Amino acid sequence: MSALVLRDQPNRVVVSEGVVRVLGKAILTSAPGAVTHVKQFGAMGKGVIDETVALQAAMNSGCGDLYVPKGIYKVTQTLVVPTGLRLYGAGRASVIAGLGIAGPVMQLNDNYGLGGASVEHLAISGTATTALEVKTMTGVAVRDVHLISGAFTNGFVFQQTYGSVFERLRTNGPIITGKCFSFGQAFNSNTVSTLYTSNSGAAYNFYLATASEQPAGNTFNGLAAQGGVIGLFVGNTFSNVFNGFYTENVIRPLVLGGYPTDGLARDIVFNGAILGGALGKPAGRAVVIDIGYADAVEFLGCTISGSNGFVAAAPITFTGGGGSGAQAIAFVSPDGALVAIKVLNGGSGYTSNPNVVIGGAGVGAAGSAVRSGNAVASVMVTSPGSGYQVDGMPPIRLDWSVSGRIRFSGCSIGSYDVGGGVYSQALWPLVTYKATSPGVWGVTIDNDAMVPVSNVAQSWSPARMEKVARAGYNYDHWVSWRGSDGTPAGMMYTPPVYP
């Protein structure tokens, strides 16, 4: 249609590119089947001027679908996506750039209406409190939205949302100091899939908790976190399922509940999670699952490892003997004594038994190497010494009163990468309990072929066990596993505490 351009004054009608503007309100007049886009409403997408008014007018025009062409659209106020609108772009090339907004760059807020809305194939950048917020909505879809640059306190915030779908969202571009993804009050019966974070400064990659109206009945598929302090925090929520949760280089990959302020995490299932410790982090930061206040939690077929950045507490080297290439790792008890040395590579060319040199912060440990042919076959500890630093912390630790009915079934627990793709069990206990805890109960490890009994029931020093006894706590738990030949076995034991 031809364009009649008039000055936009009160009581005047302006017609331009399929849009009628009456008394300052835009009304769509495009023919059925035509693609409606924001440039029809005056948006330019050149990243130069404030385009808040034009974009909001386009969203309020009443069109069902609204396209955001490639470009950078600067906004200085929150854009509110109305009920019934499908807002979509050209992927990362369609950028909504917030400029110092004290709130979200984009918000879906329908006051519990039933109309639904969707935001798809867009990028968000700039500076704001939050990149995208969804609240009081039903039947929402947010897909393929990426945060590509800028600085935000929080990335995506979802609350009071029902029966909605959130797919393929990423926060790996900007600086985020708070929560990359936050699922809060009354976030119920939603499906969340393929979310990715890579924000080293974030306090939380994924946060599922609230002070009231617990989030419940949600399914989370393929959440992945790289970097940051906490991979996933779950508190004051129930009946949620996590499939394929993955962490890498996260200081505390999983925290369940927090007493007393963060509430109880209950009826939670993790299927096939891969929880790794923190790459290159200092010793003492390899806690993988920190269960503070939880009940009825299952881990099914999960890989729960320690620190991928393992540094030997007592490095072993070999001198003399005429050969080269032998490598070994020392195992250190929680009390700082060297209790075993495992040969990783026997080397070659040894014509006599080499000397065993034990490094580290401790004193007094000694070992004796034994050859088989021209290679080192084994090393016997002749003196355990004392004061050797224990790297990392147990993969699983539990706190507080009602943490119970925690089950690990078919999981791989406690593997440490010692270099060259060689994995080894640590002599740290796999599950530990805080000495001041009022009582943790009902922990079960089922059919875990990688958990030798010595790791499960590793004894601590008499002084620490006395500390537990004086506190009056009695932790008795049944643990079952299968041996290398598939024979089932089990034991009752009193687990240790951590300081």
Q: Give the Cα separation of 381 and 342 in Å (integer).
A: 10
Q: Residue 256 has what pLDDT?
A: 85
- pTM of the full structure: 0.72
At 252-278, the pLDDT tens digits run: 788 888 655 667 888 999 999 888 755
User: Residues 211, 217, 222, 227: what is their CA dihedral angle, to the nearest 10 degrees?
Assistant: 10
Q: What percent of the chain lies above the pLDDT cut of 70? A: 65
- Give the other-Cβ count within 10 Å of 168's Cβ: 16
- pLDDT value of residue 12: 36
User: What is the pLDDT confidence band of residue 155, given thresholds at 50, 70 and 90?
Assistant: very high
* Whole-number pLDDT of residue 262: 65
- Spatial neighbors of 470 by CB under 8 A, at least 6 apart, are none
User: Is 18 in contact with 46 (CB distance < 8 Å)?
Assistant: no
Q: How confident is the model at residue 214 (pLDDT cuts 50, 70, 90)?
A: confident
**What per-residue confidence (pLDDT) applies to 181?**
97
* Cα dihedral across residues 485, 487, 493, 495: positive or negative: positive
Token code pair at residue 255: 């925290």
Helices (DSSP H) in 36-90: which residue ranges? 52-59
More confident of the two residues 110 and 333: 110
- pLDDT value at 67 more than 50: yes
108 C-beta neighbours (distance < 10 Å), count: 28
Cα angle 71, 73, 79 (rounded to 5 degrees) comes to: 135
Mean pLDDT of 476-482: 40
* pLDDT at site 428: 40
Report the distance separating Cα 394 and Cα 443, nearest Å.
15
What does the pLDDT read at residue 280? 39
Q: What is the pLDDT averaged over residues 324-343?
A: 76
Q: Dihedral (C-alpha) 128, 131, 136, 137: value to the nearest 10 degrees?
A: 150
- State the Cα–Cα distance between residues 341 and 329, nearest whole angstrom: 6
> Model confidence over 386-404: pLDDT tens digits?
887 654 455 666 654 456 6
Residue 410 has a pLDDT of: 73
Tell me the pLDDT tens digit for each residue of 183-207. 999 999 999 999 999 887 899 999 9
